[in-house]
Amino acid sequence: MMDIQTWTFIIVGLTFALYIGIAIWSRAASTKDFYVAGGGVSPLANGLATAADWMSAASFLGMAGIIAFSGYDGSVYLMGWTGGYVLLALLLAPYLRKFGKFTVPDFIGDRYYSNVARTVAVIAALFVSFTYVAGQMRGVGVVFSRFLDVEVNTGVFIGMAVVLFYAFLGGMKGITYTQVAQYCVLIFAFMVPAIFISLMATGNPVPQIGFGSTGSDGVYLLDKLDGLMTELGFTAYTDGSKAKIDVFFITAALMLGTAGLPHVIIRFFTVPKVKDARKSAGYALLFIAILYTTAPAIAVFARTNLMETVQDTPYQEIPAWFTKWEDTGLIAWTDKNDDGKIQYLPGTAINGKKPEFIETRGLLGQRVIRNASTSPNELYIDRDITVLANPEIAGLPNWVIALVAAGGLAAALSTAAGLLLVISTSISHDLIKKQFAKNMSDRKELLIARISAFFAVIVAGYFGINPPGFVASVVALAFGLAASSFFPAIVMGIFSKRMNREGAISGMVAGLAITTYYIARFKLGWIGNPETSTADDWWFGISPEGFGTLGMLVNFVVAIAVSHFFPAPPQDVQEIVENIRIPSGVGEAQGH
């Protein structure tokens, strides 16, 4: 029987060959191909690609991990990201598609008749995209470090090379059809082990039903997990410990940030007509729901299996999967009481063979040391390995374990490609062509876009090697930045004829500035002393992951207040705003 590494080489190698083959077949010949895949993608294909673009490493790897380790508190990610996509599909996507611009900065620049507004939007897009891509590259490194027996950094380099190839060659056209294939890979990889484990744990093949069912002992699985956790001193899995205000603000930041994510919004420009944008949004929602309704089940299965497997188990009898993950540094054990058994208890595991548990790296590479803990907990587990390790913990066949690795890579690389495209088009189209070289040829613009993609990959790789936290929490910061900068400008650009450039620019700058400051202070340790900053220091009890909601409110207030001191937009701009809100059959027929 082939081992896990051999299976991984085969499955990952085949999927990578597929992605590269699609990139060669669909290479971009024009800027329209590079930016919006020629505008001729079918709604079904675009729905699949949008789902893959949307379901990043944060969804595939990070979300189930956060829910598994946070229980009820982790549901904010599930609610925020699901609700956010509905908000985007219903409130913004059709209107933006009717406006007919390639990118979010392009929409903001034209709607607010200002290159300054366009530049601020470019800066915001780069902030959001680079923060988001850090999470994807960390996900790539986590997968490679375990399943291909390479260093995390080496794994990031391999991922950089692959994503650069098909983003560089095909642009949006190559990325779109690659993402269709990546969705098929990631959803199959996510569902197969979930069905296996649900059958093993409850006898029910439907994970969404299985995790609420009884096991072979007749006890409801959630009751069993609650009992295991409270017995060891953890908060019950189904109880929440977060303050209600923080739950609300994080959920809102994730929802509103979704509606302002440039790499998702741009997908709605790849279809021929406005009605196709609506159709593709509906398809994408269906495809996304498959994974999002399964993630809570995987979280429950993983946490239950983990606690039953490791608690009070002599280290000499621990299964092989544990030692394999130990080699990556993403799981580690320190025998604090010298009994030779693993004690998995509340608190931080420190002082042992892996002292880096209490050390993280900020975006600029600086050391951030967390407060030392004297807890009796002996086990460190990186949340981002939950989905990857789950099939091994459950004893599933090696090919299933390798398939999950391929799915994790598909999820991370599909989103990373979309983000890199946003970065490259923001620089080549919105910054250089629109402002400095308006007569630039199509060919030269395409070259600059590809050069921008190359440098963007270099920066993304750095962030992947020095991420500011776990995948899902890093991505949550990007959503907060998007909520505080783009969301108000887009909403008021569509629904308010009175909003002028001065108001929009002031609002974006204020929202982005205060949110960036807050994240830098309380999450990254760039401002103040991170060793002495605690949740008690948060403003109004709002965590950095949820502060984007407050930043968004600041944006709205500043924008509305400033707009009243300056003239209304020109009449032609007001007519455009009026037009994009009217579902005109003529406009649809013409593809406007």
* Within a domain: 433: yes
- Quick check: is 248 in a domain? yes
Element (H, E) at 589: helix 585-589
Question: What pLDDT, on the 0 to 100 scale, is given for residue 32?
Answer: 55
Provide the CATH number for the domain around residue 152: 1.20.1730.10
- Rounded Cα distance between 339 and 324, Å, is 22
> What does the pLDDT read at residue 506?
95
Residue 439 lies in a domain: yes
| Relative orientation angle of helices 4-25 and 115-147, to the nearest 10 degrees | 150
Q: Has residue 208 been placed in a domain?
A: yes
pLDDT of residue 17: 82
Residue 389 one-letter amino acid: A
Any domain includes 56: yes
CB 187 within 8 A of CB 265: no
Q: Strand 367-369 and strand 359-361: pairing?
A: antiparallel
Lookup: tokens for 235: 């908060």
Residue 280 domain-assigned (yes or no): yes
Give the chain's domain count: 1
Neighbouring residues of 525: CB distance < 8 A, sequence distance ≥ 6 = 362, 366, 368, 533
Burial 396-428 (b: 16+ CB within 10 A, else e): bebbbbbbbbbbbbbbbbbbbbbbbbbbbbbbb
pLDDT at 369: 37
- List of residues 6+ apart from 430 with CB closer than 8 A: 103, 105, 106, 109, 118, 121, 122
pLDDT of residue 532: 44
Structural domain contains residue 475: no
**What confidence score (pLDDT) does residue 189 get?**
87
Domain annotation covers residue 530: no
Average pLDDT, 10 consecutive residues per value, the chain (592 residues) = 79 81 66 54 83 76 82 83 78 76 78 87 80 74 72 77 66 70 86 89 86 80 87 83 85 83 72 77 86 89 87 87 80 82 78 40 38 67 81 85 84 74 76 76 78 80 67 67 88 90 93 88 61 66 88 95 92 85 52 46
Find the domain containing 88 and state its range: 4-302+397-470
What's the pLDDT score for residue 364?
Answer: 36
